[in-house]
């Protein structure tokens, strides 16, 4: 179920991990939810010493901030993201990009804009 704000903008998106996160008790968690990122989600981690010493750690902190649900886990933190299988990490990075990119306008819209101006 996708979550929409009062404005009708979809702000959360459901996903299913290809492999899943295995918790310390052996429970497999595959279904989750990710919210749209804010400017602070992207710039805040740049101040983190872990990111300053290893730029690749940025994605770990960023995903921990925007994933709002993963199975029955009560807390999704950097420790959870660090222990994802690499296929799941790659999937989440791609999913993050997809939901946060602005969809390109259709060529029909571009054509009508061009004809109005020209």
Which residue stretches of the chain are H helix? Answer: 39-43, 49-53, 58-66, 78-82, 86-100, 107-117
Please report whether residue 73 resides in a domain: yes
Please report whether residue 86 resides in a domain: yes
> Residue 8: what pLDDT?
81
Q: How many CA atoms lie within 13 A of 58 on its CB side?
A: 10
On average, the pLDDT of the chain sits at 88
* pLDDT tens-place string over residues 33-48: 999 999 999 999 999 9
Residue 112, pLDDT above cutoff 50: no
Find the domain containing 64 and state its range.
3-101
The rounded Cα 44 to chain-centroid distance in angstroms is: 15
Mean local confidence (pLDDT), 83-100: 97
Rounded Cα gap, residues 72 and 20, in angstroms: 12
Please report whether residue 27 resides in a domain: yes
Rounded Cα gap, residues 62 and 65, in angstroms: 5
pTM of the model: 0.80
Tell me which of 5-9, 52-56, 78-82 is least confident: 5-9
Please report whether residue 50 resides in a domain: yes
């Amino acid at each position: 179920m996708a979550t929409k704000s009062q404005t009708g903008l979809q702000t959360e998106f459901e996903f299913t991990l290809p492999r899943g996160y295995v918790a310390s008790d052996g429970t497999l968690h595959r279904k989750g939810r990710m919210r749209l990122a804010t400017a602070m989600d992207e710039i805040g981690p740049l101040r983190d010493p872990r990111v300053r010493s290893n730029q690749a750690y940025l994605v770990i902190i960023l995903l921990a901030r925007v994933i709002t649900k993963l199975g029955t886990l009560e807390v999704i933190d950097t420790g959870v993201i660090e222990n994802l299988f690499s296929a799941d990490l790659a999937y989440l990075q791609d999913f993050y990009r997809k939901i946060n990119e602005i969809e390109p306008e259709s060529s029909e819209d571009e054509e009508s804009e061009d004809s109005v101006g020209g």
